């Protein structure tokens, strides 16, 4: 009898042991099969990814990121805001279609319309911050995710105003105020800010209405754009004329193709309209790319005198 009880005891213990092991396995399977948040889900969880060019590390560059202010990922299509003209409106705020993308693991595959195929590794840094690493060039870009309703398009626009000046082939003077003293800049009717070079401008005294290809550039010099302390929406523009020394203007954007230049030394207000819009669609052959920089800050003082003639 004792032998029979002992046998049943071992059988009961065996069954209980197997039962416990099975429960552990089931429990483990539940943990393993929990859904994983994929890279594609991360990239599409925000409407826009702002490319902070000043945070870029490494000596190389990825062309489509180097020229973009924002990039967006939508159902395999890659969008970018490469231009400041129309930013916030174009593509419902996402910009233009520049190629296709796919993801696997932590890798992002991009098929750019002109630059071709490239692969980047993506590392989450926080809930809305990622690092995109391009191993062939050993370069990292840092992106911040935003929704359209809380993305400050104006801040991006005015922080990068130099590129806005380069998005037209020429700027033609369309208005000169009667207020202000006569000065040599009154004769300048065209300005050009060379694409891909944040320092070189050209000017011309040709008659208004001259075709872009027929403009004769009388002067080529150096220019700079600076912040105005306490005012995001106003900048200063300095044109270095040999015969005028440095000529300072208070620069205000009226709309996507009109700027106002206030000349403090004479008190004159000028308006220029952009002609020959340059849309930076795609391709490494385009000169426009963003460089790391911080605009210096200066203060200016308005003064006004009445002009004796109208230009």
Asked whether residue 33 is assigned to any structural domain, the reply reads: no
| Rounded Cα gap, residues 221 and 212, in angstroms | 19
Do 165 and 277 reside in the same domain of the chain? yes
Whether the predicted pLDDT of 6 surpasses 70: no
Do 208 and 138 reside in the same domain of the chain? no
Q: Tell which of 118, 152, 186 closes a domain.
A: 152
Do 188 and 284 reside in the same domain of the chain? yes
Asked whether residue 14 is assigned to any structural domain, the reply reads: no
Task: State the pLDDT confidence band at 37, using cuts at 50, 70 and 90.
Answer: low
Whether the predicted pLDDT of 53 surpasses 60: yes
Count of domains observed in the chain: 2
Please name every residue paired with 5 in a beta bridge, in sequence order, or none if there are none: none
Structural contact between residues 96 and 79, judged by C-beta atoms closer than 8 angstroms: yes
Asked whether residue 174 is assigned to any structural domain, the reply reads: yes
Asked whether residue 2 is assigned to any structural domain, the reply reads: no
Q: Tell which of 152, 177, 195 closes a domain.
A: 152
6 CA to centre of own chain: 79
Asked whether residue 11 is assigned to any structural domain, the reply reads: no
- The whole-chain average pLDDT of the chain stands at 83
Q: Copy the structure tokens of residue 193.
A: 């800010």
Do 170 and 241 reside in the same domain of the chain? yes
Structural contact between residues 133 and 61, judged by C-beta atoms closer than 8 angstroms: no
At 91-143, the pLDDT tens digits run 999 999 999 999 999 999 999 988 889 999 999 999 999 999 999 999 999 99
Question: What pLDDT score does 50 carry?
Answer: 97
What's the CATH code of the domain at 71? Answer: 2.40.128.280
Do 171 and 244 reside in the same domain of the chain? yes
Half-sphere exposure of 67 (CA within 13 A, CB side): 25
Do 63 and 181 reside in the same domain of the chain? no
At 286-311, the pLDDT tens digits run 555 666 554 444 343 433 333 332 22
Nearest residue to 85 via CA among 166, 4, 19, 179: 166
53 C-beta neighbours (distance < 10 Å), count:
20
Is the pTM here over 0.85, yes or no? no
Asked whether residue 141 is assigned to any structural domain, the reply reads: yes
**Segments forming the whole domain that contains residue 205:** 160-298
Q: Tell which of 152, 173, 192 closes a domain.
A: 152
At 199-228, the pLDDT tens digits run 899 999 999 999 999 999 999 999 999 998
Asked whether residue 250 is assigned to any structural domain, the reply reads: yes
Do 225 and 260 reside in the same domain of the chain? yes
Asked whether residue 34 is assigned to any structural domain, the reply reads: no
What's the CATH code of the domain at 267? Answer: 2.40.128
């Amino acid at each position: 009898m004792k032998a029979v009880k002992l046998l049943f005891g071992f059988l009961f213990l065996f069954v209980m042991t197997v039962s416990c092991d099975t429960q552990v396995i089931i429990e483990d399977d539940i943990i393993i099969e929990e859904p994983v948040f994929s890279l594609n889900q991360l990239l599409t969880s925000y409407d826009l990814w702002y490319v902070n060019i000043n945070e870029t590390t490494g000596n190389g560059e990825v062309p489509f990121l180097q020229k973009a202010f924002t990039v967006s990922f939508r159902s395999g299509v890659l969008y970018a805001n490469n231009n400041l003209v129309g930013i916030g409106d174009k593509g419902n705020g996402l910009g233009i279609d520049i190629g296709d993308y796919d993801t696997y693991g932590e890798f992002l595959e991009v098929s750019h319309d002109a630059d071709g195929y490239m692969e980047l590794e993506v590392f989450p840094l926080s809930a809305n911050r990622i690092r995109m690493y391009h191993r062939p060039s050993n370069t990292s870009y840092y992106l911040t995710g935003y929704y359209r309703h809380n993305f400050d398009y104006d801040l991006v626009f005015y922080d990068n105003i130099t590129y806005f000046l380069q998005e037209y082939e020429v700027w033609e003077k369309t208005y000169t105020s009667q207020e202000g003293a006569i000065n040599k800049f009154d004769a300048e009717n065209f300005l050009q800010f060379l694409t891909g070079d944040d320092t070189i401008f050209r000017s011309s005294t040709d008659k208004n209405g001259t075709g872009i290809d027929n403009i004769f550039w009388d002067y080529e010099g150096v220019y700079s754009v600076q912040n105005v302390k306490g005012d995001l929406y106003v900048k200063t523009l300095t044109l270095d004329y040999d015969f005028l020394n440095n000529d300072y203007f208070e620069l205000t954007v009226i709309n996507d193709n009109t700027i106002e230049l206030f000349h403090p030394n004479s008190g004159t207000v000028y308006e220029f309209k952009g002609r020959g819009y340059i849309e930076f669609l795609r391709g490494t052959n385009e000169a426009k790319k963003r460089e790391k920089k911080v605009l210096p800050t200066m203060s200016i003082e308005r003064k006004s005198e009445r002009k004796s003639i109208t230009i």
